[in-house]
Structure 1
Amino acid sequence: MANYRVGRVAEQMKKELSDIIAHRLKDPRIGFVTVTDVEVTGDLQQATVYITVLGDEEAKASTLKAFEQAVGFIRSEIGRRIRLRKTPELFFKIDESIEYGNRINQLIHEIKKNEDE
């Protein structure tokens, strides 16, 4: 039962965070960002937000810094939108899984190309 609730809260947070980032944050350092996943601890005290950022390493770093500075605002927005006793503490991390998948795909194509030659 508790796992179901944690999953529901995580999905709702993902939806709300996407909306907040797209429509409420005005920081120019935040470019094209996608929330790929939200993991909430079982006690709903902490949430790790996985994001992808379009751009190079510098863009990713400046986006993370912007999120760190806006975390209070983002948390208060989440608190207004989702009724929880205590709004989880937010931690933002770059989701490397898409880049990792692309790298694996690229390597497979290179191997296939070498086999064909």
Structure 2
Amino acid sequence: MPKEYSRSARVVEQIRRELADLIRSEVKDPRVGFISLTEVEITPDYAHAKVFFTSMTGEEGVEDILAGLRRASGFLRCELGRRVRIHTTPELHFVYDRSIENGNRMSALIDKVIAEDRSRTGADDVEPEND
């Protein structure tokens, strides 16, 4: 029977959950604000972790958020070491995740093309066929 959920995947998910909780409840730096952790990637030796985040404010202020996260990274790593029992607590590298913004932009473009197509063909007057 194959493994459904590997150990590294469980560790990555636990790191993401713990970091999200620590950032929300313990980091007092006002630059960090409202962020959401979208993904964590960890090296096989657990020495480094890339922590992807997105901001509720979009791309504005990302540099300030990154500066706040970098400043808090030592504290976060120390607290993470207390909460997650692994042989090496990874060094944290924060990366802004643009995938949500890109997805929203693509969705808006698709909606625009559909609306233009409907206005050209008069599709608003036609009811969809039932199969």
* TM tier, smaller: over 0.9
Q: Distance in 2 between matches of 1:45 and 1:56?
A: 30
**Out of 92, 108, 111, which is 1:109 matched to?**
111
Farther-moved stretch of structure 1 (47-56 vs 96-105): 47-56
Please tell me the root mean square deviation across aligned C-alpha atoms, in Å.
Answer: 1.4
Structure 1 residues without counterparts, runs of 5 or longer: none
Question: Corresponding residue for 2:74?
Answer: 72
Q: Distance in 2 between matches of 1:57 and 1:101?
A: 14
Matches within 5 A, 1:1-117: 4-117=6-119
Q: Distance in 1 between matches of 2:15 and 2:71?
A: 19
- TM normalised by structure 1 equals 0.93
Q: Distance in 1 between matches of 2:24 and 2:14?
A: 16
Q: Distance in 1 between matches of 2:74 and 2:24?
A: 17
Q: Distance in 1 between matches of 2:51 and 2:104?
A: 21
Structure 2 residues without counterparts, runs of 5 or longer: 120-131
8 Å Cα contact 2:58/2:101 also seen in 1: no
Q: Distance in 2 between matches of 1:28 and 1:54?
A: 14
- TM normalised by structure 2 equals 0.84
Q: Identity of paired residues, percent?
A: 42
Higher helix share: 1
Q: Distance in 1 between matches of 2:104 and 2:60?
A: 20
Q: Distance in 2 between matches of 1:95 and 1:48?
A: 11
Q: Which has the larger radius of gyration?
A: 2
Runs of 4+ in 1 over 3 A off after TM superposition: none
User: Partner letter of residue 116 of structure 1?
Assistant: R
Q: Distance in 1 between matches of 2:56 and 2:17?
A: 19
* Equivalent residues, number: 116
